[in-house]
Structure 1
Amino acid sequence: MTCTVGYPERTPDRWPPPRGRRGPLQVADDVHVVTLGRGFPASNVYLVRSREAWALIDAGWAGDADTIRRTAESLFGPGARPAAILLTHIHPDHSAAAGELARSWDVPVHVHPVELPMAAGKYLPEFDMPLDHWVVMPIMRLLPARTRSRIEAVGDITDVARALPPGGVVPGLPDWEWIAAPGHTPGSVAYLRRRDGVLVSGDAVLTVDSNSVPGVLSGRRRLAGPPWYSTWDRRAARESIAALAALEPRVLAPGHGYPLAVGATEALRAFADDGRSRLRRRMDRLLVPVGDPRAERYRPPPPLYARLQWLGHALTALGLSPGYVVTLEVPGRHTGVLRRTNLVRAEHAGQDYLVSLTGESEWVRNVRAARGRVVLARRGRRREVTLVEVPPPDRAPVIRSYVLRAGRRRGSSTVGREARAFFGVGPDLAVEEIATVADRFPTFRVVPDTAEATIPSLRAGRRVDPVG
Structure 2
Amino acid sequence: MRADERHETRPRLTVFERFGGARSERRVRAGLEAHPERRPGRWPPRADRRGPLTVAADVHVVTVGCGTPASNAYLVRSSGSWVLIDAGWAGDAGEIRRAAESLFGPAARPTAILLTHVHPDHSGAAGDLARAWHVPVYVHPDELPMAAGKYLPDFDMPLDHWVLVPIMHLLPARTRSRIEAAGDITDVTRPLDPDGVVPGLPDWEWTAAPGHTPGSVAYLRRADGVLVSGDALVTVDLNAASGLLGGRHRLAGPPWYTTWDRETARRSVAALAALGPRTLLPGHGYPLAAGTAEALRSFDREELDRRPRLDRVLVPLGAPGPERYRPPPRLYARLQWLGHVLTALGLSPGYVVTLEVPGRRSGVIRRTTLVLARYEGQGHLVSLTGESEWVRNVRAAGGRVVLARHRRRQAVTLVEVPPAERAPVIRSYVLRAARRPGSTAVAREARAFFGVGPDLAAEEIAAVADRFPVFAVRPDTG
TM-score (norm 2): 0.87
**CA offset at residue 92 of structure 1?**
0.4
Does structure 1 residue 346 correspond to structure 2 residue 386? no
Q: Report the more deviating stretch, 427-436 or 28-37.
A: 427-436
Which of residues 238, 257, 264 is equivalent to 1:210?
238
Judged with a 3 Å threshold, the aligned counterparts in structure 2 of structure 1 residues 401 and 447 are, in CA distance, closer, same or farther, namely same
Which of residues 379, 390, 404 is equivalent to 2:417?
390
Does structure 1 residue 254 correspond to structure 2 residue 254? no
Matches within 5 A, 1:269-418: 269-276=297-304, 278=306, 281-290=308-317, 293-408=320-435, 410=437, 415-418=442-445
**SS of equivalent residue, structure 1 residue 261:** coil
For residues 317 and 295 of structure 2, the distance between their equivalents in structure 1, rounded to whole angstroms, comes to 35
**CA offset at residue 208 of structure 1?**
1.5
Q: Report the more deviating stretch, 225-234 or 392-401.
A: 392-401
Contact 2:34–2:291 under 8 Å retained in 1: no
Contact 1:291–1:299 under 8 Å retained in 2: no
For residues 273 and 333 of structure 2, the distance between their equivalents in structure 1, rounded to whole angstroms, comes to 40
Q: Deviations over 1:6-28 (max 9, x none)?
A: 9xx93423211111111111111
For residues 33 and 340 of structure 1, the distance between their equivalents in structure 2, rounded to whole angstroms, comes to 51
**CA offset at residue 403 of structure 1?**
3.2
Judged with a 3 Å threshold, the aligned counterparts in structure 2 of structure 1 residues 277 and 230 are, in CA distance, closer, same or farther, namely farther
Matches within 5 A, 1:11-50: 11-50=39-78
Judged with a 3 Å threshold, the aligned counterparts in structure 2 of structure 1 residues 411 and 270 are, in CA distance, closer, same or farther, namely farther
Which of residues 188, 193, 212 is equivalent to 1:184?
212
Query: Which residue is equivalent to 2:98?
Result: 70
Contact 1:291–1:300 under 8 Å retained in 2: no
Which of residues 230, 237, 250 is equivalent to 1:222?
250
For residues 401 and 438 of structure 1, the distance between their equivalents in structure 2, rounded to whole angstroms, comes to 13
**SS of equivalent residue, structure 2 residue 433:** helix
The amino acid of 1:63's aligned partner reads G
Query: Which residue is equivalent to 1:239?
Result: 267
Q: Report the more deviating stretch, 89-98 or 214-223.
A: 214-223
**SS of equivalent residue, structure 1 residue 159:** coil
Query: Which residue is equivalent to 2:185?
Result: 157
For residues 314 and 279 of structure 2, the distance between their equivalents in structure 1, rounded to whole angstroms, comes to 37
Judged with a 3 Å threshold, the aligned counterparts in structure 2 of structure 1 residues 244 and 337 are, in CA distance, closer, same or farther, namely closer
Query: Which residue is equivalent to 1:124?
Result: 152
Contact 1:291–1:358 under 8 Å retained in 2: no
For residues 17 and 410 of structure 1, the distance between their equivalents in structure 2, rounded to whole angstroms, comes to 44
Contact 1:33–1:46 under 8 Å retained in 2: yes
Q: Deviations over 1:152-189 (max 9, x none)?
A: 22211111111222311211112211212221111111
Does structure 1 residue 444 correspond to structure 2 residue 471? yes
Unaligned runs of 5+ in 2: 1-29
Judged with a 3 Å threshold, the aligned counterparts in structure 2 of structure 1 residues 17 and 409 are, in CA distance, closer, same or farther, namely farther
Contact 1:291–1:357 under 8 Å retained in 2: no
The amino acid of 2:389's aligned partner reads E
Contact 1:291–1:359 under 8 Å retained in 2: no
**SS of equivalent residue, structure 1 residue 38:** coil
Q: Report the more deviating stretch, 38-47 or 232-241.
A: 232-241
**SS of equivalent residue, structure 1 residue 166:** coil
The amino acid of 2:81's aligned partner reads A
Query: Which residue is equivalent to 1:455?
Result: none
Contact 2:154–2:439 under 8 Å retained in 1: no
For residues 321 and 128 of structure 1, the distance between their equivalents in structure 2, rounded to whole angstroms, comes to 14
**SS of equivalent residue, structure 1 residue 437:** helix
Contact 2:427–2:456 under 8 Å retained in 1: yes
For residues 205 and 292 of structure 1, the distance between their equivalents in structure 2, rounded to whole angstroms, comes to 27
For residues 117 and 168 of structure 1, the distance between their equivalents in structure 2, rounded to whole angstroms, comes to 20
Which of residues 114, 120, 144 is equivalent to 1:86?
114
Contact 1:292–1:299 under 8 Å retained in 2: no
Q: Report the more deviating stretch, 48-57 or 371-380.
A: 371-380
Q: Report the more deviating stretch, 212-221 or 101-110.
A: 212-221
For residues 197 and 327 of structure 1, the distance between their equivalents in structure 2, rounded to whole angstroms, comes to 52
Judged with a 3 Å threshold, the aligned counterparts in structure 2 of structure 1 residues 111 and 172 are, in CA distance, closer, same or farther, namely same
Query: Which residue is equivalent to 2:32?
Result: 3
Unaligned runs of 5+ in 1: 453-458, 460-468
**SS of equivalent residue, structure 1 residue 405:** coil
The amino acid of 1:351's aligned partner reads Q
TM-score (norm 1): 0.88
Query: Which residue is equivalent to 1:462?
Result: none
**CA offset at residue 402 of structure 1?**
2.4
Query: Which residue is equivalent to 2:9?
Result: none
For residues 56 and 404 of structure 1, the distance between their equivalents in structure 2, rounded to whole angstroms, comes to 39
Matches within 5 A, 1:94-113: 94-113=122-141
Q: Deviations over 1:20-41 (max 9, x none)?
A: 1111111111100111111111
**CA offset at residue 420 of structure 1?**
4.6
**SS of equivalent residue, structure 1 residue 185:** coil
Query: Which residue is equivalent to 2:176?
Result: 148
For residues 437 and 217 of structure 2, the distance between their equivalents in structure 1, rounded to whole angstroms, comes to 23
**CA offset at residue 69 of structure 1?**
0.8
